[in-house]
Amino acid sequence: MVAAVLFGVHDTAGSLHRIVCRGRENRTMALRLRVIPAVIALSASALLLTACVPTESEPTSPTSTRTSAPSSTPSDSSTPEPSSSASSDPEATAVNLACTDLITPQAMYDFNPNFLLLNSFTPAAGSPAATALASKGVACRWENSTSGVTIDVSVAQPSPANVDSLKSKAGGKAAGFDGYFAVSGDTGTAQVFDGAYWATLSSQAFFEAGDVVELAADVRAALE
């Protein structure tokens, strides 16, 4: 009898244990089922937030600009047109010379290989180049691609009365070439008179007459 009672108690205890375990498993499963939707919702929210954040664009390099570099050898493949303007000297004679006739690319290269001929330019009012243009002449500008220093070259055939006036204001006789030289401000100007022609060369690089001897000779040769 006692053995039967103990067996029944043991069997009942085993049943209770199984019920408790099953209850725990059911609660665990229910908890997992509640957690899974939450995880899915959080993941979806994270994806939406990620999609809303703008992506950072790749940094762009500064736009490079093209600069003219001095050629290893001079070139006259293109001939810039000399500047021209309306005449204030109606008795002047028009000049039919190109910039590269006055100073060839080779001559300028020999003088300084960094100077490049500009396609066109507008002389400052009152400058020798502007005066030459007003007398139906031509004006050209060479620019140093390294320093930015310029050399302005002009030629005109003014009326005889204007030639006399220009000579009286040309400065002192130059040493080293047949002409005149003067410095005004930071610019030196050489002036050459050859027959009816009046030629000028102005630059911040001309500190004295000796600085422009070679170029003045080239211009004079072009006028003969």
- Note down the domain range covering 43: 1-51
8 Å CB contact between 220 and 178: yes
- Please tell me whether residues 43 and 138 are part of one structural domain: no
d(CA 148, CA 155): 23
* pLDDT of amino acid 224: 86
Question: Is residue 133 classed as helix, strand or coil in its secondary structure?
Answer: helix
In a domain, 78, yes or no: no
* pLDDT of amino acid 34: 56
- Please tell me whether residues 21 and 111 are part of one structural domain: no
Q: Residue 75's closest CA among 53, 104, 49?
A: 104
Q: How many residues belong to the chain?
A: 224
In a domain, 73, yes or no: no
Number of structural domains in the chain: 2
In a domain, 42, yes or no: yes
- Please tell me whether residues 109 and 177 are part of one structural domain: yes
In a domain, 139, yes or no: yes
In a domain, 103, yes or no: yes
- Please tell me whether residues 107 and 18 are part of one structural domain: no
- Please tell me whether residues 112 and 218 are part of one structural domain: yes
- Please tell me whether residues 204 and 109 are part of one structural domain: yes
In a domain, 140, yes or no: yes
- Please tell me whether residues 47 and 111 are part of one structural domain: no
In a domain, 87, yes or no: no
Q: With a threshold of 0.75, does the pTM exceed it?
A: no
In a domain, 207, yes or no: yes
**Token pair in block for residue 116:** 């490049």
**DSSP, res 188:** E
**DSSP, res 53:** S
- Please tell me whether residues 18 and 110 are part of one structural domain: no
- Please tell me whether residues 138 and 204 are part of one structural domain: yes
- Please tell me whether residues 125 and 211 are part of one structural domain: yes
- Please tell me whether residues 105 and 35 are part of one structural domain: no
Partners of residue 181 on adjacent β-strands? 172, 190
- Please tell me whether residues 129 and 216 are part of one structural domain: yes
**Token pair in block for residue 75:** 């070139």
* pLDDT of amino acid 146: 96
* pLDDT of amino acid 77: 39
Per-residue pLDDT of the chain (224 residues; tens, 9 = 90+): 444 433 343 444 444 445 444 555 555 454 454 545 444 444 444 444 444 444 444 434 333 333 333 333 344 434 444 544 445 788 899 999 999 999 999 999 999 999 999 998 999 999 999 999 999 999 999 999 999 999 999 999 999 989 989 999 999 999 899 999 999 999 999 999 999 999 999 999 999 999 999 999 999 999 98
